Structures are given as C-alpha cells and as structure tokens.
Amino acid sequence: MAEREERRFAQVSRESVALMAESAGVELGEEMAAVLAEDVCYRLREAAQSCSQFMKHAKRKKLTVEDFNRALRWSNVEAVCGYGAQDALPFRSGKEGELFFVDDREINLIELALATNIPKGCAETMVRVNVAYLDGKGGVELQGAVPTAVQSLSDDLLKYYQQITRAILGDDPHLMKVALLDLQSNSKIAALLPYFVYVISGVKSVSHDLEQLNRLLHMVRSLVQNPYLYLGSYVRSLVSSVMYCILEPLAASINPLNDHWTLRDYAALLLSNIFWTHGDLVSGLYHQILLSLQKVLSDPVRPLCSHYGAVVGLHALGWKAVEKVLFPHLPAYWANLQAVLDDYSVSNAQVKADGHKVYGAILVAVERLLKMKALSLSHPGEWCFNAQTGSLAAAVGYSSPGLSPPPESLSEAAFGIASHLQAGSGGCPWEEWAPVSLPAMYLELYSFFGDSLAVRFSTGPGLDSPPYCPSALLREPKKEALGQGSNSDTARKMPQLTANLSISPRRDGSPRTDPPPPSLAAAGPGRSLPRSSSAQRSRYSSSRSAQRLTGLPRDVFPKARFASPQNGPPTFSFVIGGRQMGQRCQGRRPFQTVFAPTPPPAAVPPRAYAHKLPVIGRVGKPVRRWTCSHYSLLLPL
Amino acid sequence: MAAVQGGMVDEKEEVDIKTEPQSDGLMNTNATDGRQLSPSPSSSSSAGSTKSAAGAPEDQQTLLAVLQFLRKNKLTESVEILRREAGLPEDALDTKGADCSAPSSGGTAGGVDGLDAGSLLSRVAVSSSAGTPAPTKAVADDQPDVSVVLSAYSQQGDPALYKVYYSDLKKFIESVLDCHRAELSQVFYPLFVHMYLELVYNNHESEAKAFFEKFSGDQECYYEDDLRVLSSLTKKEHMRGNETLLDFRTSKFVLRISRDSYQLLKRHLQERQNNQIWNIIQEHLYIDIFDGMPRSKSQIDAMSGSLAGEAKREANKAKVYYGLLKEPEIEVPLDDEDEEAENEEGKPKKKKPKKDSMGSKSKKQDPNAPLQNRIPLPELKDSDKLDKIMYMKESTKRIRLGRENLPSICFYTFLNAYQGLTAVDFTDDSSLIAGGFADSTVRVWSVTPKKLRKVKSAADLNLIDKESDDVLERIMDEKTASESKILYGHSGPVYGISFSPDRNYLLSCSEDGTVRLWSLLTFTCLVGYKGHNYPVWDTQFSPYGYYFVSGGHDRVARLWATDHYQPLRIFAGHLADVTCTRFHPNSNYVVTGSSDRTIRLWDVLTGNCVRIFTGHKGPIHTLAFSPNGKFLASGATDGRVLLWDIGHGLMVSELKGHTDTVYALRFSRDGEILASGSMDNTVRLWDAAKAFDDLETDDFTAATGHIHLQDNSQELLLGTYMSKSTPVVHLHFTRRNLLLAAGSYAA
C-alpha cells in the first residue's frame, strides 16, 4: 500500500489498531489490523469533512471538539467525551519517545470543593451598538485615541516618552520638575504629541487623585508653552481634558479636605492660557467653551463645585466672557445660590461653604467685569485693545473701536452668539445684554452683592486718578488675588446682612416714598455690619447712578460725585432692596421704575424676567445622548 | 418493490451481465432474515468488504451465497451442514442483519437508490449492448444482490489503460484550436472523477492512486475541495455511504459545448476507438449542445464550479413572475407639519386622506408580477395596515443612497457571546434583534427603549376591560418588562432565525432537526416543526407572513405554513445540503443555496425548480433579493458575491473583494446599494444600481445564456469598512436606509 502518499491525511497505523485491540482483549491478525487501520483512517477523514460543515454554519473559523462530536453523532458513532475544553490541550511525548498522550492535569477535588474563591459566572451576553461609519466615511474617531502608527516611532522617542510619563506621574517631585521643563523646551517631540495628548486625556480615569490631575495639568502647560510644538487639532483634546478638571464634579471633591478648588483655579488659568496662545488653531473653540461653561452654570443639578469651575473658567476667559455669559445668567442663578447660602442647617454646612466659594468667585469675576468695562469705556480704542482683551477681541471677531460705545456691530455679534448658544429658548435676555450700560450693570450687580461689591471697588480704584494707566491694570491680578481672602470673608457675612434686613420688606415696596438722605442715615446704623468704607461706598454707588443720568460714558468712576439730590433716594432704596435677596425682583422693580426714563425701556423688562430663563443646557442634552448612543441599544432610526 | 426489482436484476445478470461478485445492495436492506455476507469484523464497513478479509474470498463468497440461497428456501438442515463444513461462525449471521440496514444512509439515499434502479437497469443494458469490452474478471456467480447504482461502474477496461486513455484525450484537447480547447477542457474534470471512481470501484486501488496522482493537478483549482474528498477515498466500500459520490453518480454532469467542439470530440473518440471514455461521456455526462461560437475560457469559468456542472439551458427557460405584488391601497395620512404625531397614526383625527405616491405607483399591474391570488396570502389585519402606514411614512424620510451618498453603518456587537453566535435577525422596522446561539438558546433584545413584555396570565387577562381602547396595552404584564428575553427549547445550535413580518412570531431552526415557532407575546414555543431529520441550516418567513421555508442537511428545502405541522411543499433537487433559503419579495418563489454550489429558484405554487444558477466555487451561505424582485445576490465561501438576473436566468456581475466567506448580503431599500458582510471582518458596499444598469441583455445573450462579464469589481466597490475583529453575520437596512450590521466580538 502506498501509505506514503497519504501523509496529509489522518493516519492510524496498524500497530496502533493492534494495540487497541489488545487492550480491548481481542487478538487481531496482521492483515485484519491493516484493513481496520485503513478503514479507520477513511472514517476519520470522512468525519473531519463533515464536521467542518458544522463549523461553517456556526460561522466560526475554528473547528471545535464539539463540531467533531456532532459529526460523529450524525454518523451514528459515539461521541468522544472529555475534550471539550476551550484551551488547547498540550500533546506530549512519553519518556520512551514512542508514546504520545494528552497531558491530563490532576485536580485536587477536596481543594476544589472547599475553595472559597468561587469563580464568578461569565458576564451576560448582550448587544451593544455603535455608529461605525457615518455616511460611509471613515471610522468615527474616538477622542484621544492613540494613532496606529506606533511603529513609526523610533526607539529613542519611545524611551523618551516612557521616561517622561514615568517621571511626571511618578513620585519624585524633582524628577517631575525636570521632565516638565524638558517637555516645555524640547524641540524634537512633535511625533510624541499624540501620545502625550492621549496620556493627558486620562484625566477622566484619575478624577479621584488630585495629585495626578495636577501633574497632568502641568503636563498640559508644558506642552502648551513649548514653542516648537504645533498643537493643531490636538488643542481640542487638551481643552477637553482641562475643561474636565474645571467643570466635572471630580471624585476627589467628595472629600472636603481635598483642595480641588485650587485645581480648578489652576485649570482655569491654563484654559485661558491655551486659549490666548492657541485659540486660533481651532475655529469656534471660544464659542464651544463658552457654551459648555454656560451649560454647566445653568444646570442646577450640577454640584456647586462645577458651578465654581464654570465661574472661574469664565473669569479666566476674560471679562467679555463674564459679561456675555455670567452676567445675564446671574439673576437666574442667584436664586439658587441664595437658597443654599440661606440654609443654616447643619447638614447644609458643607454645601454652604461651597456656595460661599462660588459666591466669592462670582464676585471676583463681576468686579473685574465692571473694572474692565469701565476701563474700556474710559479708554476706548487701541489701549484697551492691546492691553488686555486684544486677543479675545480678535478671537471673538469684535472690532476694537466697537467696544467703547455699544454700536450695532457689537450687539449684533452678541446676538449671534446668543442665538447660537441657546437654540430655541425664545425671549432670552441675550440679545439684551449688549445695551446694558456700565451704570446699569453696576446697579444690577450691586443689587446682588450690595456692599461687598462696593467694598471691593473702594479698595480697587481707591485713588482718584481719572484715567487708568496700563500699569494699574497690570497690577490688577495681584490685587484680585489679595482680595480673594477678604472677599470670601465679606461674602460669608453677606447673607447675615440680608437676613437682618429682610424683616422689612415694606421698604422695597415703597422705595420712592423713602426720603433720600434720612433713609441712608437710617439704613446705615440699622446694618449689623458697620463698615469703615460705607461712606465711600455709598458715594461711589450713587456716583454711578449719577453718572448714568449724565450719560457720559467717558468718566464713570473718577468724576463721580453726588449728583442731583432727587437721584439719591432711588439709589439708596435700591441698596436696601438689593440686599433682600429673597425678594430680589421686588427689590429691583422699584428701582427700575425710578430710572425708567434713563435706560431704554425695552431693555428692562426682559432683565426682570431673567430668572425665568430656561435652563439653557437642556436643549443640548438629547444631542449629547445621541452621540453617546453606543452605551445603550437605543438608536433613533 | 425493491425486492421485486432485485429479482429482476438477478435474472438479468444471470443471463447476460457479469456483475461484481461483491456487489450487494438493496436486497440487503430488505432481506430481513439476515444473511451472512462477510466475516469481516468491521461493523461499520459495508457488506462488500469480504474480498480482502479472507484468504480465498471468492470461494467464501460463493459459499455464502449458497448458504443464503438455502436459507431463503428454508433448507435449514442443509444450511447447518454446509456451514459446519465450511467452518463459518454462526453468530456473525445475526450481527450482519443489523449491519446491513445501518449503513444505508438515511431515507433519502435509499429512496434515490430505489428510484434509480429502474433507469439504471436500462442503462446497464444499453451500455453492455454498446459493445463494452469484456470484463476482465469473469466470475460466474449467482450472487443474489446487486448494487444497482454502483453497477454502472461494473464494466471496465484494462485498469492500466486508463491513464493512457486519459492522457490521449488530454493530448488531443491540447492540440485542438484555441477556441475549442477551452470548451473541451470542461470534459476533463467529470471524466477524471468517473474514471477514478471506476478504478476504485473495481478494486484497482494502486492504479486509482496513480491515476489520481498523475492527473489531479490538471484540474481546475475550484474543484480542490471535491478532489480532497475523492483522494481520501480509495476503497470500494468507502463509496457506499459517501453522499458526494452518490450525487455524482446519480446526476449527470452537465456541460455546455458548442456543436463544432462536440463534433470534434466525437470524431476523435470514434477514430481512436476510445470506447472507455466514450461510454463515460454517454452515461454520466449530459452535453448541452448549442449552435454558435464556442465560449471563451473566462465565460466557461464564470459558470462552472458546481458539483453537477452547469445548468441545462432548458432548466432556466420557464417564465418567472418576478414582479412585485400590488400593494393594497391604504390611505396614508400625510401630516408634514407635525412630525411628532408619528406615534398616533391609529387616531385619524386630523388626517386628510391623501394618496401616497407609492400607492399610485403600484396601482398599475406590473406585467411581470404574478397574479395577486396566485399564492393565497393572509389577509391584512388592522395592525398590519398600521404597520404599512408606518412603513410608508418612514420611507418618505428615507435617505436616497447612491455612489455619492453612502449609508451610515451601525454595528451591533454581541458581547460575551462565549456560547457562540450563529444567527442574527432584525425585524423589518429594526425594533427587535434576535440572536441564535450554539448553546441552543435564542435571545431577543429590544433595540428601542420599549421593553419586552409578556402577555398577562389567563387569570389576569380575565380581569381586564376588553372594551377599552388600549386593551392591547392592558394585556401586557408590566412586571415582565426587560430588555431581553431568552427562548429555551432547542437541543442543538440554532443556525437560522427569522422574525415574522408582524413581529408577533419568531422562527428558529436548529441542529436538532426541528424548526420552532415562538410567540413574541408570550415568549414561549408554539410549534416544533419536525420534518427535516437532519440539521436544519436556515429558515425564513415569507414577506407576507404565514408561510416559511426551511432547508437543511437532508438536501431538501421545505415550505411550511405556520398552522400546518407538515410541509406544504418539498423542494428536492439539490445534490448537497441546502444551506440557505430566502423568499422572493412577492412570496411566489423561494430561492435556495446549497453546498453543491448551485442556487435554485423554486416555484411555490407548483414546487418546480424554475432556475438553476451555477458559478459559485464554494458552498453558498447567503442570498438576497433586490427590492424590486428582479435580481438576486448570492455569497459563498469563496468570498465572491454574484448577481443574477432572475428573469433572464443570467449572471449579471461578479463582485470580488472579500477574502473569506460572505455570510450576509442585503440590498438597500431602494436597491441602489448592495452591502455584503463577511467572515473577514469587513462590510463592503457595492454599486448595485450601476451593476444592473450596465447590463446589456440582448436577445442573443438571453437565448444562449452566454454571459460576458467584464471584471469591474473595483469600479463597483464603493467602500470597505472594517469592524473591530468582529465577523459580520447579518446586515439590515432600516426603513430609512441606515445600515445595521451585527456580529459577535471574537476575543
């Protein structure tokens, strides 16, 4: 027999057959064994042929023992039991070399029976859907996904990457510093950028670890500051990581001892840094950031730390952003914040503390807003442009001359943003914010913050020098930083103040009847918190209104003096009304009626209803869910 | 009947034919008295394996035959004496009886044998009269049994000369003109197989092997799989029970050859007196002669590859009513202004009745459509009408796909499917997805936020107010709501599943040989349809519900109605497993793909096979009709997708690109795009509109069936989309033309 030709098929030698027969207790002749062997070979091949059918219909590429047993069963042969394991069975040769067998491990049944670590059942079979291709074009790219071109990295680069990441995320602060410095100045790491960006996008997985978050943020800063790197579209990914640190209710913030506030501050700074330096790389980035900040701010369900993040984020983006997003939203937001701050229950203590944080942040932001706005009004044109808001103005597309008097272009631009941000929430105050002049703004803000706002103003531009010089502006941040502490103090006391005053709501209802100077005199001692600067403050506040009446934008603060006496009373009545946060609306309306002649009437009513502004982020919600649709089976079809 | 036939054969043989001494056959199965045929201890080998077992097999055979004869005539004493003298063991007698019936491979094979007995008888007679060279072995034996089928191989020439014959023919064909060579080369493969089998049958094992060694390399590469089966078969007893060979013997291999080429071949064989080959051609080949130009090699290659050669031209001549049925006219409320009112179709408050454009289009009868009542279809229920309205509304929002406008693809990945995902189906409205698994379960998931709920128990149902408007909502048991449900009942891997169009039922077919109907209201099994006694590979509901089709390892497809426990039609004709089954959109036809590498279209009304499509080089695993019913797409293990024109019975296009088995095919709702999903983890999109537009069906092509395909796969390929190591098992276009793909993640 030409057995040689059949090498490619299963072979059972006649010796094997004889051996098996012997073990079964049957004597077989040589010839018989040969015939049997050949037949067995054929049957084996036949079974192999038919079992491949079961494999094909099960849509598999791997032939399993089960397939073979099915084939055997359908040809009326007993199945072979005991080989159903998924893992490959090791086939070994015995010591003599002629003997091959399947390695059969011994299992200690006692151990198995008494084992405490009962293996968990395998996870449930489920179906998940994801949008694989949109309109037949390219895979939907995952945010921060590592590009596949790993092999294009040289070994050195790879080593560098490993060392750097290890150093930055490691324990040695000195090493970290060195690594960050190098990252900031190395000119040859462009190829690694995607990887670093990917590492940074890991913020989401370490939200419990402030230290790591901090380090990752530092890494962002280094990358952003590296003059040799072109960030390109990775800016988006970096921004989203930074925004995560700013806005998300991080796991680390559950513990009040964790100072996640600083992290948020730092991240906000970083955000502005990225934005000023690389904002031009991605179109519409500014709007996107504003949008998401606003969404967070207007979502009452979000924890206060998120709101805090939104405020500091806006603050960091410049006073324009504050004016555009925070200021119009303040009335609506204030009610929530006030509710928190007014709750004195013990269980609320922590939340209240957080609320004060937010309060402080808002205060800082609006203060700067006022200052800068005043500044821009008093120094229109090129000064304002190059000093501070230059890049912002450029990014938003404002023309610098348009800043000082609110002309058409400005309001239009604002409107454009507004409609973009809140699709469909009709009658929104966005279109109205532009005409709000500085005095009106101040008055309104004063209605919220009352004295503390004035206090800060008195400390800020205390000197009477009419035109602000650039140097004063440059000092500004420091002052704010200094003011932070005191600010929070005043902020904490603020609610007490209002609480005391809220006993007399009658005053709000009839502000006009109050005689001007006496009311001030009466209110002054009536306040539980006497302040040294109260006189000054009142002077300023009234100056504001005076300013307003005169309608001269050029000299807002400096030339502020007590104006005509009939304007005084409304001012003061407003101060009192403004303190009474609970009845904020009532407090404001009288004020508006008083000033009705001055501001454009159309502008006022919408502001009064600002608190009715629908929660803005909501419109965007379903869309977001749609993009995450791979998390659920739901897919709008 | 078989016994009678056996007797006839006996007589005949005694008269003129010298059959093989070992041949046995039908009689075995019928002779229940149990004969001792073979002392061979091998129980699984068939009865004919005596020859090599004993020293003097022929003598023993004779003795056995005599014993048999005596026993039959109740001469028990003589039997006893003879047996003792011959030294034969008695116990072997009884075991033999059992063995005889066992290997006769199932009912189908037996049936084929029985049917063919008559026809083959005459063939034997004819061939012997046609001047067969005398058999080398003249054995005068009154063997009482004849393997009627195999006896066709009994006449033979000198085994040593087979090689000479074959190489002589080969030399001749290689020497003819180019135009004839390609055509005549078709003869090689069937000749080779038949000659090899003849050698094996006549126990010339070494010659057979040598023959195989020498010429197997010359065969077309797409016959590789068959050749592998052949080469493992070297003994006559192996042939018994080998279904592939049964197929090969019982069916004639069909070749299409032009008249000129045929004359050439005939002349040559007659000149050379090459009777051996001539006989094979006469008996085992069916040569479909046509007038006109010989076909080119590429034309032939496009059509060949199936187990039984090409389709005869007559086979594809019948008229096929491929048009769509007229849609019932339903007033479609069109409310363009408020999209939100989608859900409240049922309440026709402010609906202004307006004829939909679709409705007006289908008003005039399609000349190619069958009569509306050609096949009785279930009447539309109110819920069906609602669904139709829904469908039309959805279709107005459909995205028009095309070369410039490719669909988005959503991938449904089955995770943790350790048990093995074997089949997937979506409902037409894409609200449910079902998976069949190798662990015998069927799982249904809801794709929408709407949970799956069961109907309340009978006791609870009594309590509800049957008059209320929302009675359909009230009957549902809120407590049972869940995202998925598991259906237990099968006892083998579930190879095919199909939702009913009304989404109330689910069909599943399994390796256990049953098709089960499940209710999606109670999530229980309603019926188990038993008919296929072997694994059922595929099943599908008719687009109008009520009917369904199934096909399996028993090589037949069956048409069922849900309320009949027996099949309404049995579509028999495939030579190997029916691997996939699909309903034509008009429900009048059923198409089946098989591992014999052919596709057959069956008329539901008559049960006749009206189309045979050949051209695939591997088992066909998926089929899809174009939405207009005119075209068919098929995918096979060879990774190719072929497009067919049903009306003309022609291949339209060949789409090459996949590197592994194509398991899923689906046309977009407008038929513009064809999507194919494969084991190679890709989804490919093809420009079906272009493929069909380019089609030039001149009369000549239609008449001769000689297609000329240009290789334009690359032009037609619109995109290749990789999944993440997930073989694509199923594809589905939503009503708005979003492409859904499904598969289980292969870890």
For A275, residues 6+ apart whose C-beta sits below 8 A from its C-beta are: A239, A285, A286, A289, A317, A395
Pick the more confident residue, A168 or A598: A168
Chain-chain contact of A39 with B493 (C-beta, under 8 angstroms): no
Nearest CA in chain B to A634: B448
pLDDT tens-digit series, residues B215-271: 888 888 888 888 888 888 878 777 777 776 777 777 788 888 888 888 888 888 888
Instruction: Record the tokens describing residue B452, joined without a space.
Output: 């799956």
Q: B511 pLDDT exceeds 90? A: yes
Number of Cβ pairs closer than 8 Å across A and B?
161
Q: Is B415 close to A128, i.e. CB distance below 8 A?
A: yes
pLDDT digits (tens, 9 = 90+) for B376-432: 888 888 888 888 888 888 888 888 888 888 888 989 988 888 778 999 999 998 899
Say what the pTM is.
0.57
Contacts of residue A69, defined as CB under 8 A and 6 or more positions apart, other chains included, come to A79, A80
pLDDT of A565: 42
Which chain A residues are Cβ-neighbours of B720 within 8 angstroms?
A: none
* Position A373, amino acid: K
A36 CB burial (10 A radius; 0-12, 13-18, 19+): buried
| Residue A146 binned pLDDT confidence (cut-offs 50, 70, 90) | very low
- Asked whether residue A320 carries a pLDDT value surpassing 90, the answer given is no
**More confident of the two residues B69 and B307:** B307
Residue type for position A121: G
Bridge-based pairing state of the strands B547-552 and B536-541: antiparallel
Asked whether the predicted pLDDT for residue B596 surpasses 70, the reply is: yes
Of the pLDDT bands very low, low, confident and very high (cuts 50, 70, 90), residue A544 is very low
Does residue B28 have a pLDDT over 50? no
At residue A379, the pLDDT reads: 62
Does A136 touch chain B if contact means CB atoms closer than 8 Å? Answer: yes
Q: Round to whole Å and give the CA distance between A368 and A480.
A: 8
- Higher per-residue confidence, B419 vs B549: B549
Q: pLDDT grade, residue B730 (50/70/90)?
A: very high
- Return the residue of A nearest to B42 by Cα: A36
Nearest CA in chain A to B52: A35
pLDDT band, very low/low/confident/very high, at B57 (cuts 50, 70, 90): low
Residue A56 reports pLDDT greater than 70 = yes
Q: Is the pLDDT of residue A502 over 80?
A: no
pLDDT at B678 over 90: yes
Mean pLDDT over A393-408 rounds to 36
The Cα–Cα gap between B225 and B245 comes to: 13
Q: How far is CA A279 from the centre of its chain?
A: 17
Pick the CATH number of B159-295 from 3.40.50.300, 3.40.50.2000, 1.25.40.500, 1.10.10.10: 1.25.40.500
pLDDT tier, B137 (very low <50, low <70, confident <90, very high otherwise): very low
Confidence (pLDDT) at B557: 95
Give per-residue pLDDT as tens, B430-469: 899 999 999 999 999 998 888 899 998 888 888 888 788 8
- Any idea which of A198-202, A436-440, A615-619 has the lowest mean pLDDT? A615-619
| Owner of token pair 């009326």 | A76
Q: Do B738 and A132 touch (CB under 8 A)?
A: no
What is the CATH number that goes with domain B409-447+492-744?
2.130.10.10
Contact between B413 and A127 using a beta-carbon 8 Å cutoff: yes
Instruction: Determine contact: B390 vs chain A, CB below 8 A.
Output: no
**What b/e readout covers A492-503, taking b as 16+ CB neighbours within 10 angstroms?**
bebbebbbebee
Q: Of B649, B639, B534, B530, nearest to B591 (Cα)?
A: B649
**Which pLDDT tens digit goes with each residue over A344-371?**
777 778 888 888 888 888 888 888 888 8
The segment with the largest mean pLDDT, out of A14-28, B320-334, B553-567, is B553-567
pLDDT score, position B157:
65
Residue-averaged pLDDT of chain A? 64
- Quick: pLDDT tens for B280-301: 888 888 888 888 888 888 888 8
What contacts A40, CB < 8 A, 6 or more positions away? A12, A17
Least reliable range by pLDDT among A485-494, B606-615, B675-684:
A485-494
Residue A134 vs residue A411, higher pLDDT: A134
Closest-CA distance, B100 to chain A, in angstroms, reads 14
Work out the pLDDT band at B207, boundaries 50, 70, 90: confident
Whole-angstrom distance, CA of residue B487 vs CA of residue B489: 7
Enumerate the residues of chain B whose CB falls inside 8 A of the CB of residue A9: 232
Query: Which pLDDT belongs to residue B445?
Result: 93
Q: How much is the pLDDT for A434?
A: 52
Structure-token pair, residue B310: 């090409």
- Greater confidence (A146 vs B698) lies with B698
For the segment A300-319, the average pLDDT, to the nearest whole number, is 84
Tell me which of A295-299, A438-442, B195-199, B462-466 is least confident: A438-442
H-state helical runs in B73-105: 76-86, 91-101
Residue B90 has a pLDDT of: 58
pLDDT of residue B165 exceeding 60: yes
Q: What is the dihedral of CA B82, B88, B91, B97, to 10 degrees?
A: -80
ipTM of the shown complex:
0.74
In the predicted model, what is the mean pLDDT of residues B508-513? 94
Which domains does chain A show, CATH number per domain? 3-102 (1.10.20.10)
What value does the mean pLDDT take over residues B61-88? Answer: 73
CA distances (Å), origin A85, targets A61, B36, B319: 17, 43, 54
Helices (H), A502-556: 506-509, 516-526, 534-550
User: What is the tens place of the pLDDT at every residue in A79-98?
Assistant: 888 777 767 777 777 777 67
Domain boundaries, chain B: 2-152, 159-295, 409-447+492-744
Query: What residues of B are in contact with residue A53 (Cβ under 8 Å)?
Result: 553, 577, 595
Q: Which of B213, B413, B718 sits opposite A5 (nearest CB)?
A: B213
Would the pLDDT of A493 be above 50? Answer: no
**Alpha helices in B520-670, H assignment, sequence order:** none
Say whether pLDDT at B172 is over 50.
yes
Q: Let me know if the fold of B159-295 is the same as that of B409-447+492-744.
A: no
> Residues B678-692: what's their mean pLDDT?
90
pLDDT at residue B361 is higher than 80: no
CA distance A232 to chain B (A): 27
Query: For residues A213 and A258, is the Cβ–Cβ distance under 8 A?
Result: no
CA dist., res. B376 & res. B587, Å (int): 10
Please, what is the average pLDDT of chain B? 77
